Amino acid sequence: MEDVKGIEHFESAVHAFEQKTPAFYLNRIFFGRPARIILLLLFILAILLPIFYIAMTSLKEPIEIRTSGALLPRGQITTINWVKAFANVPLVRYLFNSTVVAVISTILVLLVAVPTTYSIIRFKTGGWFLPAWILGTYVMPPIVVSIPIFAMVKMVNLQNTLAGLILVHMMANMPIAVWLIDSYIRSIPRELEQAAWIDGYSKWETLLRVVVPLIRPGILATGVITLILSWNEFLFALILTYGVKSNTFPIGISRYIGEHGLQFGEMSAAALAGIVPIYILVFLFSRNLVEGLTRGGVKG
């Protein structure tokens, strides 16, 4: 019992007091290491299997895809689906459009959301109402407002342009950005800011010179999350854009469904072409992303 220090949680407690009761065996089964490892490996498998499956599908001969659902290609491995995906659909242009929309809308979101969140938390601007309104906007199904939004975009003559989509994505992602940055700003000790005020900083200066540097990880995480949300967005892109000029990637790949049969191979290849850039981002920023997401969701 002398060495409890540093032992984590309750597993050691189980070892220390080996009471041979049914509850003890239950503990062993459900809290034991082998059970844990198996559980976690299953989890990893479950996540990866579908992704692996489409990767394999994209390498199968079209006729093989239609006849067999086996995971691994049995016949010749082929790149025909990849070649066709890029040849038949202007994927490069779709990826370009998506990139432009996602990057610019993200920058705009951050420019708006950071000061807003700061103001709401430090100066209680808008009282309880503004945060509730922001959250309410976030949980509203976009389909509800699609028609008026379409009309407004048309009013400023931005239909079928990337600029129009950028604005809509910026506005649609703003609430979630505020929600995510919220907890980072709360975590800054008030004393730091008060010190800055005493030094004669204005509120803007305090925000830019004291707060922003401190919440960099939060801004980073929020930025990547809104980038990805914009990249994946479907409904507004479907309604607001026409044709190759402004269609984004999700709209582009949905194009494979049609009368002459769903080309699963080509569609898998096209889908992967759009997913991979996102996955690279995820791997680069996984730590920040996890933190950003979890802080927003749990601690507020």
Partner 1 sequence: MKKLTYVMSLFVVLAVLLAACQPAATPTEAPKPQEPAAEVAKPTEAPAEPAAETSFAGQTLRFLTIQPHNVAAQNLATWFEEETGAKVELIVVPYDNVIEKAVLDVTSGANEVDVIEYWYPGLGTMVENNVLENLDQWYVDNADWLKADDFFPVYFDTFTKIGDSRYGIPYDGDMHLLWYYKPLLEKYNLQPPATWDDYLTVCKTITEGEKGEAYGCAIMGAKSPLILIGSYLNRLGSFGGSFFDADGKPAINSPEAVAALQALVDESKYALPTPSAVAFDESLGAWFTAKAAMVEFWTDLGSMTDDPASSKIVGQWGVVPLPKGPGDKGKTVASVNAGFGVGVSTGSKNKDLAYAFLAFVANPEIAARYNTVVGGIDPVRKSTLDNPKFVEFVGAEVADAIAKAHANAVVWPTDAKWFKLQEPLTDNLSLALTGEKTPQKALDDTQKTWEEILGQ
Partner 2 sequence: MNATLEKYTPKLMVLPTFLILLIISLVPLIYVLGISFTNSTIAKPFNDFIWFENYKKAFTDEVFGTSLVNTLIFAFTVTTIQTFFGFILAFAMQRERKLSGVLRTLALLPLFTPPVAIAMIWRLIYDPNQGMLNYYLTKWGLTSGVIPFLGDKSLAFPSIMLADIWQWTPFCFLLCMAALQSLPRDPYEAAMVDGASGWYVFKRLTLPMVAPQIIVIFLFRLLIALKVFDLIYMLTFGGPGNSTQVASFYLYRVSFKQFQTGYGGALSILVLILISVLATLLTKGREAILKRVE
Instruction: Among 34, 44, 190, 191, indicate the residue that binds partner 2 (CB under 8 A).
Output: 44
Which two three-digit tokens encode residue 296?
């927003």
Q: Out of 20, 34, 123, 190, name the contact with partner 2 by CB under 8 A.
A: 123
Instruction: Report the candidate in 253, 236, 276 with the shortest Cα–Cα distance to residue 91.
Output: 253
Q: Pattern 8-47, binding to partner 1, x per CB under 8 A?
A: ----------------------------------------
Which of partner 1, partner 2, none interacts with 244 (beta carbon under 5 to 8 A by kind)? partner 1
Structural tokens at position 93: 């242009």
Contact letters for partner 1, residues 217-256 (x by CB under 8 A): --xx--xx--------------x--xxxx--------xx-
- Among residues 243, 254, 232, 203, the alpha carbon closest in space to that of 105 is found at 232
Rg (CA), the chain: 25
**Residue 19 binds partner 2 (CB under 8 A):** yes
Is 190 among the residues that bind partner 1 (CB under 8 A)? no
* Residues 138 and 179: beta-carbon distance below 8 Å: yes
How far is 57 from 73, CA to CA, in rounded Å?
A: 7
Interface segment toward partner 1; rule CB under 8 A; list 113-121, 129-137, 216-224, 292-300: 216-224
Q: SS3 of 42, please?
A: helix
d(CA 295, CA 176): 12
Of residues 188-217, which lie at the interface with partner 2 (CB under 8 A)?
202-204, 207
For partner 2, the binding residue among 162, 166, 178, 221 (CB under 8 A) is 178
